[in-house]
Amino acid sequence: MSLTKHCLAASPSVTGTPSKGFDEKAYLAAKQLRAGEDPYRQHAFNQLESDKLSPDRPIRDTRHYSCPSVSYSLDLPATSVIITFHNEARSTLLRTVKSVLNRTPANLIQEIILVDDFSSDPEDCLLLTRIPKVKCLRNDRREGLIRSRVRGADVAAAAVLTFLDSHCEVNTEWLQPMLQRVKEDHTRVVSPIIDVISLDNFAYLAASADLRGGFDWSLHFKWEQIPLEQKMSRTDPTRPIRTPVIAGGIFVIDKSWFNHLGKYDAQMDIWGGENFELSFRVWMCGGSLEIVPCSRVGHVFRKRHPYNFPEGNALTYIRNTKRTAEVWMDEYKQYYYEARPSAIGKAFGSVATRIEQRKKMNCKSFRWYLENVYPELTVPEKEVLPGIIKQGVNCLESQGQDTAGDTLLGMGICRGSAKNPPAAQAWLFSDHLIQQQGKCLAAAFPSPGALVALQVCNPKEGSQKWRRKGSLIQQSVSGLCLEMQPAQLVTNKCQADTPAQQWQLLPHS
Ligand code: UD2
Ligand code: MN
């Protein structure tokens, strides 16, 4: 577990100039695919295609056309790039390293720290230290990417850390926009848009610029569209996108902030879940996460893991996500267990020190996170709650029918008691529906000022789905809020300080 002597050697030459000591061709040739071998077997991508490409191949600049005219500080901080890998293909590993050196101003790269997570051949890593700035740490047993990254971060000399997977290609001006955001505010943790390098033919493909990181209650990561209301209000495509979670592999973080927040949970093994744990921690403990669209980094997304999990893939994922749920999700962890029942009763080690750290840092609650960072994640509401819907001293009520036979909705002084209201003021809240006698509140054509009416309940109907957002009641599909205007109930742009949008849902029991 020590720095090898290669790693301590000073780097005499300037970044970008080929190093005399490193023979690229020999490095690659030594590990070429044997004739007849399945090119997907070892790495779960087409190694043959990767091996054919130059380590310096050009790629298309996939940024929005307004990005090149954005300017950045002249005194951006330098960064230590940390790349952990376990049995990576030489051609992809080398291309990752070269793309960084070729496409980044030399003064911004302090060093590239490779953490060889006990790959079969130590030379995959060691030989690369002949390239200026490249260092190599080798684990003397398999640790997994989480502990490996911490090991790399601990020896990093720069004030800012940049993590990359070992099969990436960074694009034009990828680093500057991320460093700029971190320099302005060291609590920001930033990612690029992650472009796709085809696992079949290694074509470099632009990813959508309208995505952010999301997840479901089983703690399964997914890319999702940024909410409509945010998309509509985006006038400048170079502005960062707030993201509830990051994908995990490619991000920039201030080193002292990373340390302050507790690095990673070192009891997580191999792969998976650490991105949720870090994301919840960053948001809940005073930082923020964002995707910077003018930064683009390509990554080979695979369909299966090319390496083994000593404890098995499923158990490892459970252990890591269960530790995340136990430390960060408070009472909401019940939904994790409902969505992933196989996690119930499984061993996950002690989380006492992580919980203690959360307390010490005085982090906010998971409820705060849900309300402020990820209100789009719907909380399962299985039980049916009977109740009243109050605004000031008035209650939402049905007020007979109009000539077309539609129920009129309005406000009336609350009668009876919350426990025993008259039928016209009694509502059921269930599964995101708000109903009265089989009819549900619906905004069929939601727009500011559009009427909300009662319709026959249909749980599949998006226009009938509502969720609480503090004291607002928001329609999930449109993002608009329920508002009482003098004579009618409408949807309108959500405004937390508008009294007509403040609602209390008081249950009967
Ligand atoms: C994504 C992330 C990855 C990580 C993972 C969840 C991106 C682009 N990738 O999965 O970084 O956050 O989600 O954990 O966001 N590795 C080791 N030791 C191991 C296993 C893996 O060093 O025991 C290395 C591996 O060689 C690679 C990196 O860790 O460089 C990530 O592994 P992956 O590429 O299999 O993960 P990926 O991209 O599916
Ligand atoms: Mn990867």
Which CA distances in Å does 171 have to 131, 140, 197, 404, 468?
20, 33, 12, 61, 41
Q: Rounded CA gap, 478 and 401, in Å? A: 27
**Which of 118, 222, 271 is the best mutation target for the ligand 1 pocket, counting ligand atoms within 8 Å of the beta carbon and taking the most?**
271
pLDDT digit string (tens) for 93-138? 999 999 999 999 999 999 999 999 999 999 999 999 999 999 999 9
Q: Residues near 181 by Cβ (< 8 Å), separated by ≥ 6?
A: 188, 190, 240, 252, 290, 292
Query: Quick one: pLDDT at residue 20?
Result: 61
pLDDT score of 380 more than 90: no
Query: Quick one: pLDDT at residue 16?
Result: 45
Q: Picking from 147-156, 400-409, 445-454, 496-505, which range would have the lowest pLDDT averaged per residue? A: 400-409
Ligand 1 atom nearest the C-alpha of 163 is 11
Q: Band of the pLDDT at 10, cuts 50, 70, 90?
A: very low
Q: Whose CA is nearest to atom 12 of ligand 1?
A: 248
What's the mean per-residue pLDDT of the chain?
A: 93
For residue 193, which of 138, 144, 239, 146 has the smallest C-alpha distance? 239
pLDDT, average across residues 76-103: 98
Tokens of 192: 């690029």
Q: Picking from 164-178, 363-377, 432-446, which range would have the lowest pLDDT averaged per residue? A: 432-446
Query: Quick one: pLDDT at residue 382?
Result: 63
Environment of ion ligand 2 (residues, CB < 5 A):
165
CA of 217 to the centre of ligand 1 (A): 21
Q: Rounded CA gap, 381 and 491, in Å? A: 22
Query: Quick one: pLDDT at residue 407?
Result: 86
CA 270 to chain centre: 19
pLDDT score of 438 more than 70: yes
Q: Percentage of the chain surpassing pLDDT 70?
A: 95
Which residue is listed with tokens 């409820």?
A: 367
CA 189 to chain centre: 11
Exposure string of 122-160, with b = 16+ CB inside 10 Å and e = fewer, is eebbbbbbbbbbbbbbbbeebbbbbbbbbbbbeebebbb
pLDDT digit string (tens) for 485-505? 988 999 999 998 999 999 998
Q: Picking from 97-111, 185-199, 356-370, 412-426, which range would have the lowest pLDDT averaged per residue? A: 412-426
CA of 202 to the centre of ligand 2 (A): 14
pLDDT score of 349 more than 70: yes
Ligand 1 atom nearest the C-alpha of 168 is 8
Look at strands 241-242 and 168-170 and give their pairing.
unpaired
pLDDT score of 191 more than 70: yes
Q: Whose CA is nearest to atom 35 of ligand 1?
A: 305
Query: Quick one: pLDDT at residue 430?
Result: 79
* Cβ–Cβ < 8 Å for 432, 476: yes
Which CA distances in Å does 167 have to 150, 221, 324?
19, 20, 27
pLDDT digit string (tens) for 31-66? 999 889 999 999 999 999 999 999 999 999 999 999
* Cβ–Cβ < 8 Å for 175, 191: no
CA of 282 to the centre of ligand 1 (A): 20
CA of 496 to the centre of ligand 1 (A): 40
**If you compute the radius of gyration of the chain from its CA atoms, what whole number of angstroms results?**
27
Q: Coil, strand, or helix at residue 253?
A: strand
Q: Whose CA is nearest to atom 28 of ligand 1?
A: 165
